[in-house]
Structure 1
């Protein structure tokens, strides 16, 4: 498996974990030279 594929697989694993623990919010990917270098999670808490 090449570096791009490893990078993608690692990022997808992290994103899946983030999504499973979040009710509202956003996830931002920062890409540089065709590699995901940073993942940002912005979670919102809604009061009813």
Structure 2
């Protein structure tokens, strides 16, 4: 998401939005961050994280 897009979101504090997006991305290794906009307002930031597990190795 670019700063240009954020500037067009009427009445919302750009820094607060960016802070929340950075927070959602922090530490995320596998997954996604979804930003929902309704009527030119960010209404939801959703973080989906996947945890990858490795199969245990067989010991002989």
* TM-score, normalization by structure 2: 0.63
Q: Select the structure that is richer in helix.
A: 1
Of the two, which has the highest radius of gyration? 2
- Which residue in the other structure is 1:3 paired with? 11
Count of residue pairs brought into register by the alignment: 45
Q: Is 2:49 the partner of 1:26?
A: no
Q: Select the structure that is richer in strand.
A: 1
Q: List runs of 5+ in structure 2 lacking aligned partners.
A: 1-9, 55-60
SS at match of 1:3: coil
Q: List runs of 5+ in structure 1 lacking aligned partners.
A: none
1:41 maps to which of 31, 47, 51: 47
Ranges of 4+ aligned residues in structure 1 off by more than 4 Å: none
* TM-score, normalization by structure 1: 0.76
Superposed CA RMSD in Å reads 1.6
Query: Which structure's relative contact order is higher, taking Cα pairs within 8 Å and 6+ residues apart?
Result: 1
